[in-house]
Amino acid sequence: MRVGVVGGGIIGLAVGAELRHRGADVTVYDPAPAGAGGAWHVAAGMLAPGGESVFEFPQLEPLLEASNALWPEFAASLGDVGYDDAGTLGVALTADDVTEMAREWKHQKLSPLTGSQLRDREPALSPRIRAGAFAATERQVDPRRVVSALRTVLAGRVVARHVSDLSEIDADAIVVAAGCGTEALTGLPIRPIKGQVLRLRGEPGLLTHVIDGAADGRHVYLVPRADGEIVVGATQEERTDHRPTAGGVHDLLRAALDLVPGLAEHELTEITVGHRPGTPDNAPIIGRLRDGVFVAAGHHRNGVLLTPITAKLVADLVLTGTTDTIADDFTPGRFGCA
Ligand SMILES: Cc1cc2nc3c(=O)[nH]c(=O)nc-3n(C[C@H](O)[C@H](O)[C@H](O)COP(=O)(O)OP(=O)(O)OC[C@H]3O[C@@H](n4cnc5c(N)ncnc54)[C@H](O)[C@@H]3O)c2cc1C
């Protein structure tokens, strides 16, 4: 079967790789096959099924958990993509921060930790931190390395092309996985949600866990890579521009330094802006749009986490016409489309 995948971001490439693995003749279309145009390039790569999203759309939780369970095998199939299972420390600076963060910790049934218990695990944390919790199943991966590995799997199959209309694609089946570009191709409601992310660099080993915290009402996460890079994210803004702003960078750095004062000596190496593809209910769209046309888009802030399960569900649908019932809540039909 000849399948055209529109969009060579992390979702399109993973869908293409899975279809190819199962014997399909796959072509992926993206205007910049070797470029850095997608949200994946900015994303920190937290694999956090217990985050805020489950309060917005509770049906999302089983999908996030199922994809999280697929990650170890998916990562191993791609080689070294920075998959790190040290886990996440949730931390809160003030009493108000504790109240706010405790909602997520309670939902995940995590045991509370005191400030000194947190510093036993992660000595670089500020002595001002009041409380926290350890989430063993919230892990991380490096999305840039994932995309690079998927591009290698699909070498020679990714064509440099911006698709303006699906009728341009000559294939037995089309998968639209164009992130924020999906609305223009399908009419499905997907809006860009701006996020600013910083990358710092210093001696490796300052942090060993992902830190997900609140400091005086400012939310921040710190994702430490083995080579000394620490990804600091992220703002969430209903805006379409690509400008980093003084306020966004200030808020991220202020919260990061409040939680981990030793970061003050790190080099600020990157400021990036990306757009999460969000839907009206902030859950992804995975399913059949019409005969021969499938959609895998709108993954908002969990696209990296949801990559393995999206690839599996969409490959099942394209090749067999049916897929696991876990996808039933995410069809295009909930927005009045097929
Ligand atoms: C600041 C920020 C932080 C994030 N952090 C995390 C995180 O920690 N964990 C997590 O799980 N997720 C995170 N995400 C979300 C994640 O990055 C996205 O959900 C994910 O990248 C979506 O993947 P995608 O392939 O659908 O879209 P993208 O990665 O945006 O890729 C879309 C691709 O489609 C191509 N395209 C668009 N239009 C067309 C067209 N007409 N023709 C051909 N190609 C087209 C684009 O060039 C692009 O390459 C974050 C996102 C942002 C912005």
Ligand 1 pocket, residue 194 CB under 6 Å = no
Please report, in tens digits, the pLDDT of each residue of the chain (338 residues total).
999 999 999 999 999 999 999 999 999 999 999 999 999 999 999 999 987 777 778 899 999 999 999 999 999 999 999 999 999 999 999 999 999 999 889 989 999 999 999 999 999 999 999 999 999 999 999 999 999 999 999 999 999 999 999 999 999 999 999 999 999 999 999 999 999 999 999 999 999 999 999 999 999 999 999 999 999 999 999 999 999 999 999 999 999 999 999 999 999 999 999 999 999 999 999 999 999 999 999 999 999 999 999 999 999 999 999 999 999 999 999 998 65
Instruction: Specify the amino acid at residue 75.
Output: A
Q: What pLDDT is stored for residue 318 in this prediction?
A: 98
Domain chopping of the chain, boundaries: 2-79+141-190+279-335, 88-135+192-277
Ligand 1 pocket, residue 6 CB under 6 Å = yes
User: What is the CA(297)–ligand 1 centre distance, in A?
Assistant: 9
User: What is the CA(303)–ligand 1 centre distance, in A?
Assistant: 7
Ligand 1 pocket, residue 132 CB under 6 Å = no
User: What is the CA(238)–ligand 1 centre distance, in A?
Assistant: 16
Contact 213, 91 (CB under 8 A): yes
CA dist 105 → 1, 137, 155, 269 (Å): 46, 13, 42, 32
> Which tokens hold the place of 293?
């046309």
User: What is the CA(113)–ligand 1 centre distance, in A?
Assistant: 34
Ligand 1 pocket, residue 277 CB under 6 Å = yes
User: What is the CA(213)–ligand 1 centre distance, in A?
Assistant: 24
pTM of the model: 0.97
User: What is the CA(216)–ligand 1 centre distance, in A?
Assistant: 30
Ligand 1 pocket, residue 177 CB under 6 Å = yes
User: What is the CA(39)–ligand 1 centre distance, in A?
Assistant: 3
> Which tokens hold the place of 218?
């400012």
Q: Whose CA is nearest to atom 45 of ligand 1?
A: 7
In the Cβ-directed half-sphere of 113, how many Cα atoms lie within 13 Å? 20
Q: What pLDDT is stored for residue 58 in this prediction?
A: 87
Q: What pLDDT is stored for residue 265 in this prediction?
A: 96
End-to-end CA distance of the chain, in Å?
23
Contact 231, 199 (CB under 8 A): yes
**Cα angle: 288, vertex 337, 289; to 5 degrees:** 20
Q: Whose CA is nearest to atom 18 of ligand 1?
A: 303
Q: What pLDDT is stored for residue 338 in this prediction?
A: 55
Nearest alpha-carbon partner for 46 in 153, 126, 139: 139
Task: State the closest ligand 1 atom to the C-alpha of 162, by its place in the atom list counted from 1.
Answer: 42
Phi, psi (degrees; rounded to nearest 5) at 324: -60, 145
Ligand 1 pocket, residue 8 CB under 6 Å = yes
User: What is the CA(336)–ligand 1 centre distance, in A?
Assistant: 24
Q: What is the 3-state secondary structure (H, E, C) of the chain?
A: CEEEEECCCHHHHHHHHHHHHCCCEEEEEECCCCCCCCHHHCCCCEECCCCCHHHHCCCHHHHHHHHHHHHHHHHHHHCCCCCECCCEEEEECCHHHHHHHHHHHHHCCCCEEEHHHHHHHCCCCCCCCCEEEEECCCEECCHHHHHHHHHHHCCCCEEECCCCCHHHCCCCEEEECCHHHHHHHHCCCCEEEEEEEEEEECCCCCCCCEEEEEECCEEEEEEECCCCEEEEECCCECCCCCCCCHHHHHHHHHHHHHHCHHHHHCEEEEEEEEEEEECCCCCCEEEEEECCEEEEECCHHHCCCCHHHHHHHHHHHHHHCCCCHHHHHHCHHHHCCC
Burial label, 243 (beta-carbon count in 10 A; 0-12, 13-18, 19+): exposed
Q: Say if 2-79+141-190+279-335 and 88-135+192-277 have the same CATH topology.
A: no
> Which tokens hold the place of 306?
């949801």
Contact 73, 83 (CB under 8 A): no
Instruction: Specify the amino acid at residue 19.
Output: L
Q: Which CATH architecture has domain 88-135+192-277?
A: 2-Layer Sandwich (3.30)
Ligand 1 pocket, residue 192 CB under 6 Å = no
Domain 2-79+141-190+279-335: what homologous superfamily?
FAD/NAD(P)-binding domain (3.50.50.60)
Ligand 1 pocket, residue 233 CB under 6 Å = yes
Rg, Å, the chain Cα set: 20
Task: State the closest ligand 1 atom to the C-alpha of 193, by its place in the atom list counted from 1.
Answer: 53
